[in-house]
A and B are shown apart, each in its own frame.
Chain A
Protein backbone atom coordinates (compact mmCIF):
# COMPACT_ATOMS: atom_id res chain seq x y z
CA UNK A 1 0.00 0.00 0.00
CA UNK A 2 2.81 2.35 0.94
CA UNK A 3 4.46 1.84 -2.44
CA UNK A 4 1.24 2.66 -4.25
CA UNK A 5 1.00 5.90 -2.28
CA UNK A 6 4.62 6.52 -3.22
CA UNK A 7 3.79 6.02 -6.92
CA UNK A 8 0.82 8.33 -6.70
CA UNK A 9 2.89 10.91 -4.82
CA UNK A 10 5.65 10.72 -7.43
CA UNK A 11 3.08 11.23 -10.17
CA UNK A 12 1.54 14.25 -8.45
CA UNK A 13 4.91 15.78 -7.58
CA UNK A 14 6.31 15.25 -11.07
CA UNK A 15 3.20 16.69 -12.67
CA UNK A 16 3.22 19.73 -10.41
CA UNK A 17 6.94 20.40 -10.87
CA UNK A 18 6.78 20.01 -14.62
CA UNK A 19 3.78 22.32 -14.97
CA UNK A 20 5.65 24.93 -12.95
CA UNK A 21 8.85 24.46 -14.94
CA UNK A 22 7.07 24.57 -18.28
CA UNK A 23 5.45 27.86 -17.34
CA UNK A 24 8.88 29.43 -16.91
CA UNK A 25 10.47 31.05 -19.94
CA UNK A 26 12.07 28.47 -22.18
CA UNK A 27 15.81 28.29 -21.61
CA UNK A 28 18.37 25.56 -22.12
CA UNK A 29 18.04 24.53 -18.49
CA UNK A 30 14.26 24.14 -18.45
CA UNK A 31 14.09 22.38 -21.80
CA UNK A 32 16.51 19.80 -20.41
CA UNK A 33 15.04 19.59 -16.91
CA UNK A 34 11.43 18.99 -17.96
CA UNK A 35 11.95 15.80 -19.98
CA UNK A 36 14.48 14.59 -17.41
CA UNK A 37 11.95 15.05 -14.62
CA UNK A 38 9.28 13.36 -16.73
CA UNK A 39 11.50 10.31 -17.21
CA UNK A 40 12.41 10.22 -13.53
CA UNK A 41 8.74 10.39 -12.57
CA UNK A 42 7.89 7.51 -14.90
CA UNK A 43 10.61 5.35 -13.34
CA UNK A 44 9.40 6.21 -9.84
CA UNK A 45 5.81 5.33 -10.75
CA UNK A 46 6.99 2.08 -12.34
CA UNK A 47 8.95 1.13 -9.21
CA UNK A 48 6.05 2.02 -6.94
CA UNK A 49 3.44 0.11 -8.91
CA UNK A 50 5.58 -3.02 -9.35
CA UNK A 51 6.30 -3.14 -5.63
CA UNK A 52 2.89 -1.99 -4.48
CA UNK A 53 0.90 -4.50 -6.54
CA UNK A 54 3.50 -7.22 -6.06
CA UNK A 55 3.88 -7.80 -9.80
CA UNK A 56 5.93 -10.93 -10.43
CA UNK A 57 9.48 -10.20 -11.65
CA UNK A 58 8.76 -12.72 -14.42
CA UNK A 59 6.31 -10.24 -15.90
CA UNK A 60 7.80 -6.85 -15.16
CA UNK A 61 10.89 -6.39 -13.00
CA UNK A 62 11.25 -3.19 -10.98
CA UNK A 63 13.79 -0.60 -12.20
CA UNK A 64 15.92 -1.19 -9.10
CA UNK A 65 16.09 -4.93 -9.86
CA UNK A 66 17.13 -4.13 -13.43
CA UNK A 67 19.85 -1.80 -12.17
CA UNK A 68 21.17 -4.53 -9.86
CA UNK A 69 21.27 -7.06 -12.71
CA UNK A 70 22.93 -4.49 -14.96
CA UNK A 71 25.67 -3.88 -12.43
CA UNK A 72 26.14 -7.60 -11.76
CA UNK A 73 26.41 -8.73 -15.39
CA UNK A 74 28.46 -6.02 -17.04
CA UNK A 75 30.86 -8.64 -18.45
CA UNK A 76 28.08 -10.39 -20.39
CA UNK A 77 26.57 -7.10 -21.48
CA UNK A 78 29.92 -5.84 -22.76
CA UNK A 79 30.55 -9.04 -24.71
CA UNK A 80 27.11 -8.78 -26.31
CA UNK A 81 27.64 -5.11 -27.04
CA UNK A 82 30.90 -5.79 -28.88
CA UNK A 83 29.38 -8.67 -30.84
CA UNK A 84 26.19 -6.90 -31.92
CA UNK A 85 26.93 -3.19 -31.99
CA UNK A 86 30.61 -2.94 -32.86
CA UNK A 87 31.03 -6.00 -35.08
CA UNK A 88 27.53 -6.34 -36.55
CA UNK A 89 25.83 -2.96 -36.66
CA UNK A 90 28.79 -0.61 -37.01
CA UNK A 91 30.68 -2.46 -39.73
CA UNK A 92 27.48 -3.00 -41.69
CA UNK A 93 26.54 0.63 -41.25
CA UNK A 94 29.86 1.88 -42.57
CA UNK A 95 29.84 -0.49 -45.55
CA UNK A 96 26.17 0.16 -46.35
CA UNK A 97 26.26 3.94 -46.07
CA UNK A 98 29.61 4.16 -47.85
CA UNK A 99 28.53 2.06 -50.82
CA UNK A 100 25.16 3.84 -51.00
CA UNK A 101 27.00 7.17 -51.07
CA UNK A 102 29.28 6.09 -53.93
CA UNK A 103 26.32 4.57 -55.77
CA UNK A 104 24.41 7.84 -55.35
CA UNK A 105 27.21 9.82 -56.95
CA UNK A 106 27.25 7.35 -59.84
CA UNK A 107 23.47 7.46 -60.17
CA UNK A 108 23.52 11.23 -60.09
CA UNK A 109 26.04 11.33 -62.95
CA UNK A 110 23.65 9.53 -65.32
CA UNK A 111 20.16 10.95 -65.56
CA UNK A 112 18.81 7.70 -66.99
CA UNK A 113 19.94 5.77 -63.92
CA UNK A 114 18.57 8.44 -61.62
CA UNK A 115 15.10 8.34 -63.15
CA UNK A 116 15.12 4.55 -63.08
CA UNK A 117 16.70 3.86 -59.70
CA UNK A 118 15.03 6.53 -57.60
CA UNK A 119 11.46 5.12 -57.81
CA UNK A 120 12.80 1.60 -57.31
CA UNK A 121 14.91 2.77 -54.37
CA UNK A 122 11.94 4.54 -52.83
CA UNK A 123 9.90 1.39 -53.23
CA UNK A 124 12.55 -0.84 -51.68
CA UNK A 125 13.04 1.59 -48.79
CA UNK A 126 9.39 1.02 -47.82
CA UNK A 127 9.64 -2.77 -47.99
CA UNK A 128 10.05 -4.97 -44.92
CA UNK A 129 13.73 -5.50 -45.77
CA UNK A 130 14.27 -7.11 -42.39
CA UNK A 131 12.74 -10.23 -43.92
CA UNK A 132 16.02 -10.69 -45.80
CA UNK A 133 17.58 -11.63 -42.47
CA UNK A 134 17.02 -15.42 -42.63
CA UNK A 135 18.38 -15.56 -46.19
CA UNK A 136 21.49 -13.57 -45.34
CA UNK A 137 22.08 -15.66 -42.22
CA UNK A 138 22.00 -18.70 -44.50
CA UNK A 139 24.49 -17.17 -46.91
CA UNK A 140 26.99 -15.64 -44.53
CA UNK A 141 26.83 -17.98 -41.57
CA UNK A 142 25.86 -17.39 -37.95
CA UNK A 143 28.59 -14.98 -36.94
CA UNK A 144 28.64 -11.21 -37.20
CA UNK A 145 29.23 -11.17 -40.98
CA UNK A 146 25.61 -12.09 -41.65
CA UNK A 147 24.41 -9.38 -39.24
CA UNK A 148 26.58 -6.82 -40.99
CA UNK A 149 25.09 -7.96 -44.31
CA UNK A 150 21.54 -7.44 -42.99
CA UNK A 151 22.52 -3.97 -41.82
CA UNK A 152 24.06 -3.17 -45.23
CA UNK A 153 20.83 -4.14 -46.99
CA UNK A 154 18.71 -2.17 -44.52
CA UNK A 155 20.62 1.11 -44.58
CA UNK A 156 21.52 1.08 -48.29
CA UNK A 157 18.31 2.33 -49.85
CA UNK A 158 17.32 5.08 -47.38
CA UNK A 159 20.87 6.41 -47.67
CA UNK A 160 20.85 6.15 -51.49
CA UNK A 161 17.52 7.92 -51.88
CA UNK A 162 18.46 10.71 -49.51
CA UNK A 163 21.87 11.32 -51.06
CA UNK A 164 20.51 11.40 -54.61
CA UNK A 165 17.84 13.83 -53.50
CA UNK A 166 20.44 15.97 -51.77
CA UNK A 167 22.73 16.07 -54.79
CA UNK A 168 19.98 17.63 -56.86
CA UNK A 169 19.23 20.21 -54.18
CA UNK A 170 21.52 22.98 -55.39
CA UNK A 171 19.64 25.58 -57.44
CA UNK A 172 20.19 26.31 -61.13
CA UNK A 173 21.52 29.73 -60.24
CA UNK A 174 24.23 28.27 -58.00
CA UNK A 175 25.23 25.76 -60.66
CA UNK A 176 25.37 28.54 -63.26
CA UNK A 177 27.66 30.48 -60.97
CA UNK A 178 30.00 27.49 -60.79
CA UNK A 179 29.97 27.33 -64.58
CA UNK A 180 30.93 31.02 -64.85
CA UNK A 181 33.89 30.17 -62.60
CA UNK A 182 34.77 27.53 -65.24
CA UNK A 183 34.43 24.82 -62.61
CA UNK A 184 34.39 21.26 -63.94
CA UNK A 185 32.17 18.41 -62.77
CA UNK A 186 34.41 17.39 -59.90
CA UNK A 187 34.95 20.91 -58.60
CA UNK A 188 31.21 21.58 -58.73
CA UNK A 189 30.58 18.31 -56.95
CA UNK A 190 33.09 18.93 -54.18
CA UNK A 191 32.58 22.64 -53.64
CA UNK A 192 28.88 23.06 -54.26
CA UNK A 193 26.74 19.97 -54.60
CA UNK A 194 28.14 17.77 -51.83
CA UNK A 195 28.02 20.54 -49.22
CA UNK A 196 24.48 21.39 -50.35
CA UNK A 197 23.54 17.72 -50.05
CA UNK A 198 24.85 17.43 -46.49
CA UNK A 199 21.51 17.99 -44.70
CA UNK A 200 19.97 15.20 -46.78
CA UNK A 201 22.97 12.94 -46.30
CA UNK A 202 22.76 13.39 -42.56
CA UNK A 203 19.07 12.64 -42.67
CA UNK A 204 19.91 9.35 -44.37
CA UNK A 205 22.66 8.66 -41.85
CA UNK A 206 20.25 9.28 -38.96
CA UNK A 207 17.57 6.99 -40.37
CA UNK A 208 20.27 4.39 -40.97
CA UNK A 209 21.59 4.61 -37.40
CA UNK A 210 18.34 3.33 -35.87
CA UNK A 211 17.83 0.79 -38.65
CA UNK A 212 21.35 -0.56 -38.16
CA UNK A 213 20.78 -1.52 -34.53
CA UNK A 214 17.38 -3.01 -35.27
CA UNK A 215 18.81 -5.02 -38.16
CA UNK A 216 21.73 -6.37 -36.17
CA UNK A 217 19.56 -7.41 -33.23
CA UNK A 218 16.69 -8.94 -35.20
CA UNK A 219 19.08 -10.85 -37.47
CA UNK A 220 20.33 -12.64 -34.36
CA UNK A 221 16.88 -14.11 -33.80
CA UNK A 222 17.51 -16.24 -36.90
CA UNK A 223 20.69 -17.79 -35.62
CA UNK A 224 23.81 -16.54 -33.90
CA UNK A 225 26.82 -17.70 -31.93
CA UNK A 226 26.18 -17.86 -28.18
CA UNK A 227 26.66 -14.16 -27.66
CA UNK A 228 25.05 -11.00 -28.93
CA UNK A 229 22.20 -8.85 -27.75
CA UNK A 230 19.51 -10.42 -29.90
CA UNK A 231 20.61 -13.90 -28.87
CA UNK A 232 20.66 -12.94 -25.17
CA UNK A 233 17.24 -11.33 -25.37
CA UNK A 234 15.57 -14.27 -27.06
CA UNK A 235 17.17 -16.90 -24.80
CA UNK A 236 16.64 -14.91 -21.59
CA UNK A 237 12.97 -14.49 -22.44
CA UNK A 238 12.82 -18.26 -22.73
CA UNK A 239 14.44 -18.61 -19.27
CA UNK A 240 12.10 -15.94 -17.86
CA UNK A 241 15.16 -13.91 -16.80
CA UNK A 242 13.44 -10.67 -17.67
CA UNK A 243 15.77 -8.51 -15.59
CA UNK A 244 18.63 -9.47 -17.90
CA UNK A 245 16.44 -8.73 -20.92
CA UNK A 246 15.71 -5.28 -19.57
CA UNK A 247 19.41 -4.73 -18.87
CA UNK A 248 20.09 -5.54 -22.54
CA UNK A 249 17.39 -3.10 -23.53
CA UNK A 250 19.07 -0.42 -21.43
CA UNK A 251 22.33 -1.13 -23.26
CA UNK A 252 20.52 -1.00 -26.60
CA UNK A 253 18.87 2.27 -25.65
CA UNK A 254 22.15 3.84 -24.58
CA UNK A 255 23.94 2.57 -27.69
CA UNK A 256 21.11 3.74 -29.96
CA UNK A 257 20.92 7.19 -28.41
CA UNK A 258 24.69 7.61 -28.41
CA UNK A 259 24.88 6.52 -32.05
CA UNK A 260 22.18 8.98 -33.01
CA UNK A 261 23.68 11.69 -30.83
CA UNK A 262 27.12 11.41 -32.41
CA UNK A 263 25.62 11.78 -35.88
CA UNK A 264 23.49 14.73 -34.79
CA UNK A 265 26.59 16.35 -33.32
CA UNK A 266 28.56 15.78 -36.52
CA UNK A 267 25.65 17.26 -38.45
CA UNK A 268 25.77 20.38 -36.34
CA UNK A 269 29.49 20.78 -37.05
CA UNK A 270 29.24 20.08 -40.78
CA UNK A 271 26.03 21.88 -41.67
CA UNK A 272 26.39 24.85 -39.33
CA UNK A 273 25.19 27.08 -42.19
CA UNK A 274 21.79 25.40 -42.55
CA UNK A 275 18.75 27.31 -41.23
CA UNK A 276 17.67 24.39 -39.05
CA UNK A 277 20.97 24.53 -37.15
CA UNK A 278 20.98 28.28 -36.49
CA UNK A 279 19.25 29.25 -33.30
Chain B
Protein backbone atom coordinates (compact mmCIF):
# COMPACT_ATOMS: atom_id res chain seq x y z
CA UNK B 1 0.00 0.00 0.00
CA UNK B 2 3.05 2.18 0.46
CA UNK B 3 3.25 2.76 -3.26
CA UNK B 4 -0.34 3.82 -3.92
CA UNK B 5 0.37 7.55 -3.74
CA UNK B 6 3.47 7.43 -5.99
CA UNK B 7 1.63 5.29 -8.55
CA UNK B 8 -1.36 7.63 -8.55
CA UNK B 9 0.98 10.58 -8.95
CA UNK B 10 2.65 8.96 -11.94
CA UNK B 11 -0.70 8.09 -13.52
CA UNK B 12 -1.91 11.65 -12.94
CA UNK B 13 1.31 12.93 -14.51
CA UNK B 14 0.68 10.75 -17.56
CA UNK B 15 -2.83 12.21 -17.96
CA UNK B 16 -1.53 15.78 -17.62
CA UNK B 17 1.14 15.08 -20.23
CA UNK B 18 -1.51 13.53 -22.44
CA UNK B 19 -3.76 16.62 -22.28
CA UNK B 20 -0.79 18.91 -22.87
CA UNK B 21 0.36 16.84 -25.83
CA UNK B 22 -3.18 16.93 -27.23
CA UNK B 23 -3.09 20.72 -27.22
CA UNK B 24 0.36 20.80 -28.78
CA UNK B 25 -0.34 18.24 -31.52
CA UNK B 26 -3.83 19.43 -32.42
CA UNK B 27 -3.10 23.16 -32.34
CA UNK B 28 -1.89 23.48 -35.98
CA UNK B 29 -5.19 22.13 -37.26
CA UNK B 30 -7.15 24.42 -34.94
CA UNK B 31 -5.17 27.47 -36.15
CA UNK B 32 -5.63 26.36 -39.73
CA UNK B 33 -9.39 26.14 -39.29
CA UNK B 34 -9.49 29.50 -37.51
CA UNK B 35 -7.60 31.39 -40.20
CA UNK B 36 -9.84 29.94 -42.88
CA UNK B 37 -13.01 31.04 -41.12
CA UNK B 38 -11.42 34.34 -40.15
CA UNK B 39 -11.69 33.84 -36.40
CA UNK B 40 -9.09 34.78 -33.82
CA UNK B 41 -8.36 32.09 -31.28
CA UNK B 42 -7.97 32.99 -27.66
CA UNK B 43 -6.11 30.54 -25.46
CA UNK B 44 -9.38 29.31 -24.06
CA UNK B 45 -11.07 28.57 -27.37
CA UNK B 46 -7.86 27.02 -28.67
CA UNK B 47 -7.73 24.57 -25.77
CA UNK B 48 -11.43 23.81 -26.07
CA UNK B 49 -11.03 23.15 -29.79
CA UNK B 50 -7.96 20.90 -29.47
CA UNK B 51 -9.78 18.73 -26.98
CA UNK B 52 -12.90 18.25 -29.10
CA UNK B 53 -11.78 17.77 -32.70
CA UNK B 54 -13.38 15.05 -34.73
CA UNK B 55 -10.19 13.58 -36.18
CA UNK B 56 -7.48 14.89 -33.88
CA UNK B 57 -3.85 13.87 -34.15
CA UNK B 58 -4.05 12.91 -30.51
CA UNK B 59 -7.51 12.61 -28.98
CA UNK B 60 -7.86 13.80 -25.41
CA UNK B 61 -8.50 11.10 -22.78
CA UNK B 62 -12.12 12.13 -22.24
CA UNK B 63 -12.83 11.78 -25.98
CA UNK B 64 -11.44 8.24 -25.94
CA UNK B 65 -13.40 7.51 -22.78
CA UNK B 66 -16.61 8.76 -24.38
CA UNK B 67 -15.95 6.64 -27.48
CA UNK B 68 -15.35 3.53 -25.37
CA UNK B 69 -18.55 4.24 -23.40
CA UNK B 70 -20.48 4.73 -26.64
CA UNK B 71 -19.21 1.52 -28.24
CA UNK B 72 -19.46 -0.75 -25.22
CA UNK B 73 -22.44 0.29 -23.12
CA UNK B 74 -24.66 2.02 -25.63
CA UNK B 75 -24.27 -0.47 -28.48
CA UNK B 76 -25.80 -3.92 -28.55
CA UNK B 77 -23.18 -6.64 -28.10
CA UNK B 78 -24.16 -8.27 -31.39
CA UNK B 79 -23.62 -5.04 -33.30
CA UNK B 80 -20.57 -4.86 -35.55
CA UNK B 81 -19.73 -1.49 -34.06
CA UNK B 82 -19.68 -2.77 -30.52
CA UNK B 83 -16.21 -2.86 -29.04
CA UNK B 84 -17.26 -5.74 -26.81
CA UNK B 85 -18.02 -7.81 -29.92
CA UNK B 86 -14.56 -7.06 -31.34
CA UNK B 87 -12.89 -7.72 -28.00
CA UNK B 88 -14.64 -11.06 -27.82
CA UNK B 89 -13.35 -12.03 -31.27
CA UNK B 90 -9.82 -11.21 -30.19
CA UNK B 91 -10.24 -12.76 -26.78
CA UNK B 92 -11.45 -16.10 -28.14
CA UNK B 93 -8.44 -16.36 -30.48
CA UNK B 94 -6.14 -15.33 -27.63
CA UNK B 95 -7.51 -17.93 -25.24
CA UNK B 96 -7.46 -20.73 -27.81
CA UNK B 97 -3.88 -19.88 -28.79
CA UNK B 98 -2.89 -19.55 -25.17
CA UNK B 99 -4.36 -22.95 -24.35
CA UNK B 100 -2.67 -24.63 -27.32
CA UNK B 101 0.63 -22.86 -26.60
CA UNK B 102 0.60 -23.80 -22.95
CA UNK B 103 -0.21 -27.42 -23.79
CA UNK B 104 2.53 -27.59 -26.40
CA UNK B 105 4.97 -25.81 -24.09
CA UNK B 106 4.40 -28.16 -21.18
CA UNK B 107 4.61 -31.24 -23.43
CA UNK B 108 7.87 -30.01 -24.94
CA UNK B 109 9.26 -29.19 -21.49
CA UNK B 110 8.46 -32.68 -20.20
CA UNK B 111 10.12 -34.17 -23.27
CA UNK B 112 13.17 -31.97 -22.83
CA UNK B 113 13.54 -32.80 -19.15
CA UNK B 114 13.15 -36.56 -19.62
CA UNK B 115 14.89 -37.09 -22.96
CA UNK B 116 18.51 -36.15 -23.42
CA UNK B 117 18.36 -36.26 -27.21
CA UNK B 118 15.43 -33.88 -27.21
CA UNK B 119 17.14 -31.60 -24.71
CA UNK B 120 20.21 -31.28 -26.90
CA UNK B 121 18.45 -31.02 -30.26
CA UNK B 122 15.22 -29.13 -29.55
CA UNK B 123 16.18 -26.66 -26.83
CA UNK B 124 18.61 -24.59 -28.94
CA UNK B 125 15.97 -24.34 -31.67
CA UNK B 126 13.29 -23.29 -29.21
CA UNK B 127 15.53 -20.41 -28.19
CA UNK B 128 16.55 -19.63 -31.77
CA UNK B 129 12.90 -19.62 -32.84
CA UNK B 130 12.35 -16.57 -30.67
CA UNK B 131 15.10 -14.49 -32.25
CA UNK B 132 13.10 -14.84 -35.47
CA UNK B 133 10.54 -12.07 -35.68
CA UNK B 134 7.69 -14.53 -36.06
CA UNK B 135 5.04 -11.85 -36.23
CA UNK B 136 6.49 -10.99 -39.61
CA UNK B 137 5.11 -14.18 -41.09
CA UNK B 138 1.68 -13.77 -39.54
CA UNK B 139 0.16 -12.63 -42.87
CA UNK B 140 1.59 -15.66 -44.62
CA UNK B 141 0.28 -18.12 -42.04
CA UNK B 142 -3.18 -16.58 -42.29
CA UNK B 143 -3.25 -16.60 -46.08
CA UNK B 144 -1.84 -20.11 -46.43
CA UNK B 145 -4.19 -21.60 -43.85
CA UNK B 146 -7.05 -19.80 -45.56
CA UNK B 147 -6.04 -21.40 -48.86
CA UNK B 148 -6.08 -24.85 -47.27
CA UNK B 149 -9.57 -24.13 -46.04
CA UNK B 150 -8.83 -23.31 -42.41
CA UNK B 151 -10.17 -19.87 -41.60
CA UNK B 152 -11.67 -17.92 -38.76
CA UNK B 153 -10.36 -18.57 -35.30
CA UNK B 154 -7.66 -21.17 -35.81
CA UNK B 155 -5.09 -19.28 -37.93
CA UNK B 156 -5.01 -16.42 -35.41
CA UNK B 157 -4.78 -18.91 -32.59
CA UNK B 158 -1.80 -20.54 -34.31
CA UNK B 159 0.11 -17.26 -34.19
CA UNK B 160 -0.83 -16.78 -30.56
CA UNK B 161 0.29 -20.32 -29.90
CA UNK B 162 3.67 -19.77 -31.49
CA UNK B 163 4.27 -16.67 -29.40
CA UNK B 164 3.05 -18.17 -26.14
CA UNK B 165 4.70 -21.58 -26.15
CA UNK B 166 8.22 -20.23 -25.72
CA UNK B 167 7.94 -18.68 -22.24
CA UNK B 168 6.13 -21.82 -21.08
CA UNK B 169 8.85 -24.16 -22.38
CA UNK B 170 11.65 -22.15 -20.83
CA UNK B 171 9.84 -21.67 -17.52
CA UNK B 172 8.69 -25.28 -17.25
CA UNK B 173 12.10 -26.73 -18.08
CA UNK B 174 13.54 -24.62 -15.30
CA UNK B 175 10.65 -25.53 -13.00
CA UNK B 176 10.71 -29.27 -13.64
CA UNK B 177 14.44 -29.26 -12.97
CA UNK B 178 14.11 -27.17 -9.82
CA UNK B 179 13.91 -30.10 -7.34
CA UNK B 180 17.44 -30.56 -6.05
CA UNK B 181 19.38 -33.81 -5.88
CA UNK B 182 18.45 -34.33 -2.25
CA UNK B 183 14.72 -34.29 -2.98
CA UNK B 184 15.15 -36.60 -5.97
CA UNK B 185 17.20 -38.97 -3.80
CA UNK B 186 14.43 -38.90 -1.23
CA UNK B 187 11.95 -40.03 -3.89
CA UNK B 188 14.34 -42.80 -4.84
CA UNK B 189 14.63 -44.04 -1.28
CA UNK B 190 10.86 -44.27 -1.20
CA UNK B 191 11.11 -46.44 -4.30
CA UNK B 192 8.97 -43.96 -6.27
CA UNK B 193 8.39 -44.75 -9.92
CA UNK B 194 9.20 -42.19 -12.62
CA UNK B 195 5.57 -41.15 -12.94
CA UNK B 196 5.22 -40.77 -9.17
CA UNK B 197 8.32 -38.60 -9.07
CA UNK B 198 6.83 -36.51 -11.83
CA UNK B 199 3.36 -36.04 -10.34
CA UNK B 200 4.35 -35.68 -6.71
CA UNK B 201 7.64 -33.86 -6.87
CA UNK B 202 8.58 -32.32 -10.22
CA UNK B 203 5.18 -30.99 -11.25
CA UNK B 204 4.28 -29.38 -7.89
CA UNK B 205 7.67 -27.75 -7.55
CA UNK B 206 7.40 -26.28 -11.07
CA UNK B 207 4.21 -24.38 -10.25
CA UNK B 208 5.76 -20.99 -9.34
CA UNK B 209 7.74 -21.07 -12.58
CA UNK B 210 4.67 -22.10 -14.55
CA UNK B 211 2.57 -19.18 -13.36
CA UNK B 212 5.29 -16.63 -14.05
CA UNK B 213 5.60 -17.95 -17.61
CA UNK B 214 1.84 -18.09 -18.04
CA UNK B 215 1.60 -14.36 -17.41
CA UNK B 216 4.18 -13.62 -20.09
CA UNK B 217 2.56 -16.16 -22.42
CA UNK B 218 -0.86 -14.54 -21.99
CA UNK B 219 0.44 -11.09 -22.87
CA UNK B 220 2.31 -12.50 -25.89
CA UNK B 221 -0.76 -14.43 -26.96
CA UNK B 222 -2.89 -11.29 -27.04
CA UNK B 223 -0.28 -9.53 -29.17
CA UNK B 224 -0.32 -12.51 -31.52
CA UNK B 225 -4.09 -12.45 -31.88
CA UNK B 226 -4.14 -8.70 -32.57
CA UNK B 227 -1.41 -8.89 -35.19
CA UNK B 228 -3.07 -11.98 -36.66
CA UNK B 229 -6.15 -9.91 -37.38
CA UNK B 230 -4.30 -7.34 -39.46
CA UNK B 231 -3.89 -9.22 -42.76
CA UNK B 232 -7.40 -10.65 -42.89
CA UNK B 233 -8.60 -7.34 -44.23
CA UNK B 234 -10.03 -5.78 -41.09
CA UNK B 235 -13.09 -7.98 -40.64
CA UNK B 236 -13.48 -8.25 -36.90
CA UNK B 237 -11.41 -7.99 -33.77
CA UNK B 238 -9.36 -5.32 -32.03
CA UNK B 239 -6.55 -5.58 -34.57
CA UNK B 240 -9.10 -5.01 -37.34
CA UNK B 241 -10.36 -1.92 -35.52
CA UNK B 242 -6.79 -0.62 -35.39
CA UNK B 243 -6.29 -1.21 -39.10
CA UNK B 244 -9.66 0.24 -40.12
CA UNK B 245 -9.02 3.24 -37.92
CA UNK B 246 -5.65 3.85 -39.52
CA UNK B 247 -7.14 3.55 -43.02
CA UNK B 248 -9.82 6.15 -42.37
CA UNK B 249 -7.88 8.38 -40.00
CA UNK B 250 -10.27 7.63 -37.13
CA UNK B 251 -7.80 8.31 -34.36
CA UNK B 252 -10.38 8.13 -31.61
CA UNK B 253 -11.33 4.64 -32.79
CA UNK B 254 -7.67 3.55 -32.79
CA UNK B 255 -7.13 4.81 -29.29
CA UNK B 256 -10.29 3.22 -27.96
CA UNK B 257 -9.29 -0.15 -29.47
CA UNK B 258 -5.83 0.29 -28.03
CA UNK B 259 -7.10 1.05 -24.53
CA UNK B 260 -9.52 -1.86 -24.79
CA UNK B 261 -6.62 -4.16 -25.68
CA UNK B 262 -4.67 -2.79 -22.72
CA UNK B 263 -7.60 -3.40 -20.40
CA UNK B 264 -7.98 -6.92 -21.78
CA UNK B 265 -4.28 -7.64 -21.21
CA UNK B 266 -4.45 -6.28 -17.68
CA UNK B 267 -7.56 -8.34 -16.96
CA UNK B 268 -6.13 -11.60 -18.32
CA UNK B 269 -2.78 -11.22 -16.57
CA UNK B 270 -4.61 -10.21 -13.41
CA UNK B 271 -6.75 -13.36 -13.51
CA UNK B 272 -3.65 -15.54 -13.83
CA UNK B 273 -2.09 -13.65 -10.94
CA UNK B 274 -5.16 -14.36 -8.85
CA UNK B 275 -5.13 -18.08 -9.69
CA UNK B 276 -1.43 -18.10 -8.93
CA UNK B 277 -1.96 -16.61 -5.50
CA UNK B 278 -4.78 -18.98 -4.59
CA UNK B 279 -3.00 -22.08 -5.92
CA UNK B 280 0.34 -21.34 -4.35
CA UNK B 281 -1.27 -20.54 -1.03
CA UNK B 282 -3.19 -23.81 -1.06
CA UNK B 283 0.03 -25.62 -1.92
CA UNK B 284 1.76 -23.86 0.95
CA UNK B 285 4.25 -22.09 -1.29
CA UNK B 286 3.26 -18.48 -0.88
Number of A positions contacting B (CB below 8 A): 61
Contact of A126 among B10, B137, B265 (CB under 8 A): B265
A256 in contact (CB, < 8 A): yes
Enumerate chain A interface residues (CB-CB to B < 8 A). 18-19, 21-23, 26, 30-31, 34-35, 37-39, 58-60, 112-117, 119-120, 123, 126-128, 130-135, 137-139, 209-210, 213-214, 217-218, 221-223, 229-230, 233-234, 237, 242, 245, 248-249, 252-253, 256-257, 259-260
Q: Are A256 and B231 in contact (CB under 8 A)?
A: no
Q: Are B261 and A128 in contact (CB under 8 A)?
A: yes
Residues of A within 8 A of B223 (CB): 128, 130
Residues of B within 8 A of A209 (CB): 131
Query: How many residues of B sit at the interface, in one of the four size bands?
Result: 35 or more
Segment at the A interface, from B31-39, B139-147, B183-191, B192-200: B139-147
Query: Given that A134-B242, A245-B137 are known contacts, is A139 also in contact with B144, CB under 8 Å in the complex?
Result: no
Q: How far is the CA of A241 from the CA of B215 in the complex (A)?
A: 37
B262 in contact (CB, < 8 A): yes
Residues of B within 8 A of A237 (CB): 139-140, 143, 231
Residues of B within 8 A of A126 (CB): 215-216, 219, 265-266, 269
Q: Are B246 and A245 in contact (CB under 8 A)?
A: no
Q: How far is the CA of A10 from the CA of B134 in the complex (A)?
A: 27
Q: How far is the CA of A123 from the CA of B11 in the complex (A)?
A: 12
Contact of A233 among B122, B140, B245, B246 (CB under 8 A): B140
Q: Are A138 and B125 in contact (CB under 8 A)?
A: no
Residues of B within 8 A of A18 (CB): 117, 120-121
B60 in contact (CB, < 8 A): no
Q: How far is the CA of A237 from the CA of B139 in the complex (A)?
A: 7
Q: Are B257 and A116 in contact (CB under 8 A)?
A: no
Against A, the Cβ 8 Å flags (1 = close, 0 = not) of B195-236 are 000000000000000000001100100110011001100000
Q: Are A119 and B227 in contact (CB under 8 A)?
A: no
Q: Are B132 and A127 in contact (CB under 8 A)?
A: no
The 4 A-B pairs of least Cβ separation, nearest first, read A116-B6, A134-B246, A38-B121, A116-B10
Q: Are B6 and A139 in contact (CB under 8 A)?
A: no
Q: How far is the CA of A21 from the CA of B121 in the complex (A)?
A: 10
Q: Are A138 and B258 in contact (CB under 8 A)?
A: no
Segment at the A interface, from B42-50, B171-179, B247-255: B247-255
Q: Are B136 and A217 in contact (CB under 8 A)?
A: yes
Query: Given that A134-B245, A222-B246, A252-B136 are known contacts, is A35 also in contact with B121, CB under 8 Å in the complex?
Result: yes
